[in-house]
Amino acid sequence: MGQPAAFMAGYRFIPAGAPLEATAMNENDCRDLLLVQAFEGIANPAWDAGDRQWASDAAERKLGAEAGDDAWLLARARLAGARLRERDATARMLERASRWPAGAGWLTAGLGLVAGFAGDATGADRFINLLAPPLLGLIAWNLAIYAGLAIARLRGADDAPVSPLARLWLRLLTARLRRADAGQPAIASRFTAAWTQATLPLTTVRLARILHLAAASLALGAIAGLYLRGLVFEYRAGWASTFLEPGQVAILLKLLFGPASLLTGIELPDALRLGAMRIPPGPGERAGDWIHLQATTLALLVVLPRLVLALLARRRATGLADAIALPLRDPYFAALLRGRAGAASTVLVIPYATELDQSARDMLASLLAGAFGAGVVLRIAPSVAFGDEAEPPPGAGNPTADWHMILFRLAATPEREVQLRFVEQIRERLPPAAPLTVLVDDTSFRARFADPARLAQRMDAWRRIFDDEAGRAPLVFLSLAADAYDESLRALAKGIESVDQHDAA
């Protein structure tokens, strides 16, 4: 690639969409990686270019040059994360707020036990209606949950009934994390978005475990309440129905309490006995055996299945916490690997008919650091005024620059005789294979026109002008506004990738 060949040598360009082979990432490593990425993606006083370089060098010294890229990235994140937490309140708050609450399962189980005990599961007036006790509702609800889990498993969506609750939990977590910004909301927002997305499967399974424990505890509390109340009060059992007859009730009770009857040896009543238990006119019968049957049924249909499901969820959560699926294919990671290979680059940006204030310069520097690595050297040439395009600024085409970028404003009307001609003149000053990218900043246009259709029309106009340069000097539409970092970085990385692929061809 001529002069840029030295810049490209020593590392393999990693396209933005290509997955990086990585070992299993545990929850703490994932947290460190995303925390450091959030801080390094936005200019901030807590973490500058020197800190980024220190983290890269320290990881290299710790592992050695032969270590794989995935191990190096994780080691770097651990070292950088530890230093960030030492010096920055935002990092400490985000780290604490993103951790799963310790003891959440036991607390929920305790609340469920108290709720089950406090509720009068037998019904009103110390009378148990065998056809409509509150316990039947508890059983029906759990059976519906089991059916939902089974259907979800058949469809290949594990724990689907829990997913809405998981998303609600993550929304609450998002609000908590964003409140913990300590004056750096942009960093908190970036970390929160990445963290909640990466940990959604783990959060879903953890919530499922808590819900299973809560349901089992609720049933255990109800069972305890049945027996303790039965010690000091006399309960009667019977049934009442407008439409059912004793024979039909016998069938229903066999379906419901049959397994408990076999397990306890308590015989279920026949139709004649059930006729005498009808209220009115009968007084029912003592409810001791029915309390045993109900407690056993709750244990069989609620407590044991829920405990088994909770254990399975705990086992699965442990596995997920040790192997979070985080695709390392962001331009951020590609830039880090460029820097690791010693591929520091010098980028010359030539503004045309636009002046960059300090915030725009800082944003441009952050984008280039994100695309090329922390060691990138940014040089910004004097702006070329409209009408002076025949005289490119001094330094344009300078062989000491590894990459040239021309910066236009989207608000300007594109013309072949103006913008395209200017790009061609810069191209003529460069070696044949020197990389060149055309940046089009849409910040002022978006501020002036909020209509997406108008924005798309203006972008199409620019594309039509630069059709012939699509491969050699691709257009990159980006924004130098601070809140558009992620989208702009992806666009810039894609433009860099297209130049690399064109030159390789």
pLDDT band at residue 426 under the 50/70/90 scheme: confident
Task: Tell me the longest C-alpha to C-alpha distance in the chain.
Answer: 109
Mean pLDDT of 137-162: 81
**Residue (of 350, 330, 363) closest to 423 by Cα position:** 350
Out of 6-20, 47-61, 77-91, 454-468, pick the least confident.
Answer: 6-20
CA distances (Å), 134 to each of 91, 127, 139, 393, 487, in order?
Answer: 49, 12, 9, 83, 54
Residue 328, pLDDT score: 66
Q: How far apart are CA 97 and CA 95, in angstroms?
A: 6
Output the CA–CA distances (angstroms, integers) from residue 280 to 14, 238, 239, 381, in the order listed: 80, 9, 9, 97
- Quick: pLDDT tens for 292-303: 999 999 999 999
pLDDT of residue 443: 92
| Angle subtended at Cα 88 by Cα 86 and Cα 90, rounded to the nearest 5 degrees | 125
Residue 396 pLDDT class (50, 70, 90 cuts): low
- Tokens linked to 416: 């072949």
Compute the distance between CA of residue 289 and CA of residue 295 in angstroms, rounded to an integer. Answer: 10
What average pLDDT does the segment 245-272 reach?
A: 93
**What's the CA gap between 456 and 447, in Å, rounded?**
15
Q: What is the mean pLDDT of residues 309-327?
A: 88
Nearest to 99 by CA among 32, 46, 159: 32
Helix axes 163-179, 89-97, angle to 10 degrees: 160
pLDDT of residue 264: 95
Q: Is the pLDDT of residue 125 over 80?
A: no
Identify the pLDDT of residue 81.
95
For the chain, how many residues are written?
505
CA-based nearest residue to 75, from 31, 34, 38, 29 = 29
Half-sphere exposure of 376 (CA within 13 A, CB side): 24
User: Are 371 and 496 a contacting pair, CB within 8 Å?
Assistant: yes
Return the pLDDT at 311.
96
Q: What's the angle, vertex CA 24, arms to CA 23 and CA 26, rounded to 5?
A: 135
Which neighbouring-strand residues pair with 278? 239
- Lowest mean pLDDT, pick from 16-25, 183-192, 224-233: 16-25
Exposed (0-12), middle (13-18) or buried (19+): which is 198, by Cβ within 10 Å? Answer: buried
CA–CA gap between residue 244 and residue 271 (Å, rounded)? 12
Rounded Cα distance between 360 and 479, Å, is 9
Residue-wise pLDDT for 31-83, tens only, equals 999 999 888 877 678 888 788 889 988 999 999 888 888 889 999 999 999 99
Instruction: Please measure the distance between the N-terminal and C-terminal CA atoms of the chain and give it in whole angstroms.
Output: 11
- Tokens standing for 48? 């500058």
336-348 pLDDT, tens per residue?
877 777 665 788 9
HEC-encoded secondary structure of 87-128: HCHHHHHHHHHCCCCCCHHHHHHHHHHHHHHHCCCCCHHHEE
Of the two residues 24 and 321, the one the predictor is more confident about is 321
Q: Which two tokens stand for residue 447?
A: 């501020």
Q: What is the mean pLDDT of residues 118-134?
A: 72
- The one-letter amino acid code at 119 reads G
What's residue 5's pLDDT? 30
Phi, psi values for residue 403, rounded to 5°: -145, 135
Taken in order of first residue, the domains within the chain and their CATH numbers are: 20-87 (no CATH), 104-321 (no CATH), 332-504 (3.40.50.2300)
